[in-house]
């Protein structure tokens, strides 16, 4: 039962992250037709995604704490209903302010309900290959650009953006609500064998306050922040950048799909490597690759060049993102994991919020995106520097695990 339903939980988590991220990032596909139809500036529409990330991060802390207390099933079920509702209401918004508040707040709050609860719910099912399991849950994030983004582009090419967004809202309800009903917590016998005790060194269990003030969490949160600040702008604006460079709109969307496909490989490769060589070392290497790939977008102008850079960039950022959850589990154990992941996600969302708004402002101010990618390169190197400060992971608790 442990092996069978553990992998079922991985599949459910992957579906949820795919639909949630795909629905949220459909705004990147709608950016061009929305600004053309409404007359709103790119910075104004992009700021909805910035608000989205902020709301997702703050709400993620609360969702994680609720998941620790009430279990993940209730949390993701409520989040599924709320996500579809937010998208449906945003599709009907008639003013810029209404759209920003609905999309930014409701969709953002709802999206925050999936990541920390599902990562925390999956890890207790696994004694071995925990990094791989979490990476596979996040595979949905990489699949989203190859599924929902092309679907959104197809919808908006056959109808207006409002109808397309409403269609995605209905799809969210159809897929996520049934999936949420199958979410289960690991049985106590599985969870008790699944990893380190709540105090990584085998001492008294840490409280939430002590954990959030610890050097482990501070470094984790700051690295996560800088990492997300480095890749959020390129993720959100590369479609528009490719169109700006003369790439046809439908072809530009495929650049995003290449990132997603490469991200699948990154999640599998870095997850396996982290299980074998350690999470910290693999994370630092992935962050370095991400930084240089983000900067390389400055030199892309043709579709083939966009594909090449997007493949490396997607491999790197896709591979590193699940590793933060594994580090949190190894530092703090399972008991308060949802809260810790929610808090880390809240800090990282501040970084994610910088890219969409900053990229829109840069384009409106300078008439291009070069400074966005240069800034992403610098922030990426900052993430690498911070990651070197991760404290060693204590191993006594791990040594007591069954073989």
Domains in the chain with CATH codes: 2-183+204-391 (1.20.1250.20)
**Nearest-angstrom CA–CA distance, 74 and 67:** 8
Highest mean pLDDT among 203-212, 267-276, 278-287: 278-287
| Digit-coded pLDDT (tens) for 7-34 | 899 999 999 999 998 898 888 788 888 8
| Percent helix / strand / coil, the chain, rounded to 5 | 80, 0, 20
Which pLDDT score is estimated for 398?
Answer: 37
* pLDDT of 289 strictly over 90: yes
| Digit-coded pLDDT (tens) for 57-116 | 889 889 988 998 899 999 999 999 999 999 999 999 888 888 989 998 999 999 989 988
What is the chain's alpha carbon radius of gyration, rounded to the nearest angstrom?
A: 20
In degrees rounded to 5, what are phi and psi of residue 113?
Answer: -80, -10
- What confidence category does residue 193 fall into, taking pLDDT thresholds of 50, 70 and 90? very low
Residues in the chain: 403
Query: pTM of the prediction?
Result: 0.73
Residues 6 or more apart whose CB falls under 8 angstroms from that of 152 comprise 22, 26, 29, 30, 164, 168
- Mean pLDDT for the stretch of residues 303-309: 94
**Nearest-angstrom CA–CA distance, 138 and 200:** 25
Three-class DSSP labels, 41-69: CHHHHHHHHHHHHHHHHHHHHHHHHHHHH
| Digit-coded pLDDT (tens) for 321-375 | 889 988 998 888 888 888 898 889 888 888 887 887 788 889 888 888 999 999 9
- What confidence category does residue 2 fall into, taking pLDDT thresholds of 50, 70 and 90? very low
| Digit-coded pLDDT (tens) for 205-228 | 567 888 888 999 999 999 999 999
DSSP 330-360: HHH-STTHHHHHHHHHHHHHHHHHHHHHHHH
Whether residue 133 contacts residue 126, with contact meaning beta carbons closer than 8 Å, is answered with: yes
**282 CB burial (10 A radius; 0-12, 13-18, 19+):** buried
From first CA to last CA, the distance across the chain in angstroms is 18
Angle between helix axes 370-387 and 215-244 (nearest 10 degrees) is: 160
**Nearest-angstrom CA–CA distance, 25 and 273:** 29
């Amino acid at each position: 039962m442990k092996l069978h339903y553990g992998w079922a939980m991985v599949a459910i988590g992957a579906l949820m992250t795919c639909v949630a991220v795909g629905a949220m990032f459909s705004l990147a596909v709608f950016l061009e037709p929305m600004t053309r139809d409404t007359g709103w500036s790119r910075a104004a529409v992009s700021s909805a995604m910035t608000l989205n990330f902020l709301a997702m991060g703050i709400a993620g802390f609360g969702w994680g704490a609720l998941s620790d207390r009430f279990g993940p099933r209730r949390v993701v079920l409520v989040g599924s209903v709320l996500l579809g509702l937010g998208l449906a209401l945003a599709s009907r918004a008639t003013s810029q302010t209404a759209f920003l508040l609905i999309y930014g707040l409701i969709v953002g709050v709802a999206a925050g309900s999936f990541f920390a609860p599902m990562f925390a719910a999956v890890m207790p099912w696994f004694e071995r290959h925990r990094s791989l399991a979490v990476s596979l849950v996040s595979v949905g994030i990489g699949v989203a650009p190859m599924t929902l983004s092309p679907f959104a582009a197809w919808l908006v090419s056959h109808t207006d953006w409002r109808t397309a967004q409403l269609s995605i809202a209905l799809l969210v309800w159809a897929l996520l609500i049934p999936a949420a009903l199958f979410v289960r917590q690991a049985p106590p016998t599985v969870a008790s064998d699944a990893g380190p005790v709540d105090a990584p060194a085998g001492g008294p269990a840490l409280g939430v306050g002590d954990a959030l003030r610890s050097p482990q969490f501070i470094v984790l949160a700051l690295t996560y922040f800088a990492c997300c600040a480095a890749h959020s702008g390129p993720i959100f604006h590369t479609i528009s950048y490719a169109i700006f460079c003369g790439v046809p709109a439908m072809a530009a969307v495929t650049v995003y799909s290449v990132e997603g496909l490469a991200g699948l490989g990154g999640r599998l490769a870095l997850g396996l490597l982290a299980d074998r060589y350690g999470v910290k070392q693999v994370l630092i290497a992935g962050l370095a690759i991400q930084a240089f790939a983000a900067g390389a977008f400055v030199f892309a102008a043709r579709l083939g060049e966009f594909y090449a850079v997007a493949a490396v960039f997607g491999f790197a950022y896709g591979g590193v993102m699940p590793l933060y959850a594994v580090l949190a589990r190894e530092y703090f154990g399972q008991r308060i994991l949802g809260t810790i992941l929610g808090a880390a996600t809240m800090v990282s969302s501040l970084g994610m919020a910088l890219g969409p708004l900053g990229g829109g402002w840069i384009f409106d101010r300078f008439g291009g995106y070069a400074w966005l990618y240069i800034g992403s390169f610098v922030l990426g190197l900052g993430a690498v520097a911070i990651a070197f400060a991760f404290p060693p992971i204590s191993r006594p608790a791990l040594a007591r695990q069954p073989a």
